[in-house]
Homo-oligomer: A and B are copies of this chain.
Amino acid sequence: MPRFRLTIEYDGAPFVGWQRQDNGPSVQASLEDAVLAFSGERVEVVGAGRTDTGVHAEAQVAHLDLASERFEARTVMNAVNAHLRPLPVAVLAAEAVGEDFHARFSAVWRAYRYVIVNRRAPLALDLGRAWHVMAPLDVAAMQAGADRLLGHHDFTSFRAVQCQAKSPLKTLDLVRVSRHGERVVVEAKARSFLHHQVRNIVGTLKLVGEGKWRPDDVTRALEARDRTAAGPTAPADGLTLVAVGYPD
């Protein structure tokens, strides 16, 4: 069966998240419906990262298998895009891949970006795309706090209670905090993340940026291995899955 790898952009606002669910429209179901509409085949579209309700993607990666041999990758891309309209989901690229390629299990890293708009005035152009934080944030302090989380740790304190991962052990390869005018951007990269891990890290670093916590408090929260020891979960709006990496 031909397997196709898709690169997908979406605005998470109208969706219950990536994964098919009973309580509302998902990105996955929208893609599967579009595939059915053009090919007549009911397939599963397997994604690299199961983004939550309201979380966006610039380049989610997914794969699907078609029984028919008659579709080229370019046709799959154009046909899926035509049937996705007017949803804010777009297939940016499609390519034929071997059956050894698995969007989720072959992935060797995921990269996320979290955007905070740090100003007194409410959001207008960035509504639904950023977290509005009014108190001035000290980005150097946030980076110092973030550095405490780098490397291999038990991230229980930064893991959603409903997280289904077998182990809370993860290796955080990058957490970079930078300011661009009124925008504070947190970039995070790891082989994989726990449920809400990036948002819980950002919610914690915000406490450091506001001066309510010191970087040492981040270490203390990490070592507590208790979700209630870390900061609150940052809103989904500011989070975007920016890239997924594969071998080669």
Contact between chains at A125 and B56 (CB < 8 Å): yes
0/1 string, A82-95, CB within 8 A of B gives 1: 00110011111100
Stretch at the interface among A16-24, A115-123, A143-151: A115-123
Contact between chains at A91 and B10 (CB < 8 Å): no
In the assembled complex, the CB of A128 is this many whole angstroms from the nearest CB of chain B, namely 9
In the assembled complex, the CB of A242 is this many whole angstroms from the nearest CB of chain B, namely 11
Number of A residues, CB within 8 Å of B: 24
0/1 string, A104-127, CB within 8 A of B gives 1: 000000000000000111111101
0/1 string, A209-242, CB within 8 A of B gives 1: 0000000000000000000000000000000000
0/1 string, A60-91, CB within 8 A of B gives 1: 00000000000000000110010011001111
A11 within 8 A of B: yes
Which residues of chain B are near A124, meaning CB under 8 Å? 9-11, 88-90
Checking B88, B93, B121 against A90 with a beta-carbon cut-off of 8 angstroms, the contacting residue is B121
A58 within 8 A of B: yes
Contact between chains at A127 and B88 (CB < 8 Å): yes
Q: Max chain B CB contacts within 10 Å: which of A10, A78, A90, A120?
A: A90
Contact between chains at A92 and B77 (CB < 8 Å): no
Which residues of chain B are near A11, meaning CB under 8 Å? 124-125, 127
Checking B81, B119, B120, B121 against A122 with a beta-carbon cut-off of 8 angstroms, the contacting residue is B81
Closest to A94 in B: B121
CB within 8 Å for A121 and B91 given contacts A11-B127, A127-B11 = yes
Which residues of chain B are near A78, meaning CB under 8 Å? 120
Which residues of chain B are near A92, meaning CB under 8 Å? 119, 121
Contact between chains at B89 and A9 (CB < 8 Å): no
Which residues of chain B are near A85, meaning CB under 8 Å? 122
Which residues of chain B are near A91, meaning CB under 8 Å? 121
Contact between chains at B81 and A121 (CB < 8 Å): yes
9 closest A-B pairs (Cβ-Cβ)?
Answer: A90-B124, A9-B124, A90-B121, A88-B124, A92-B121, A90-B122, A10-B124, A88-B127, A81-B122
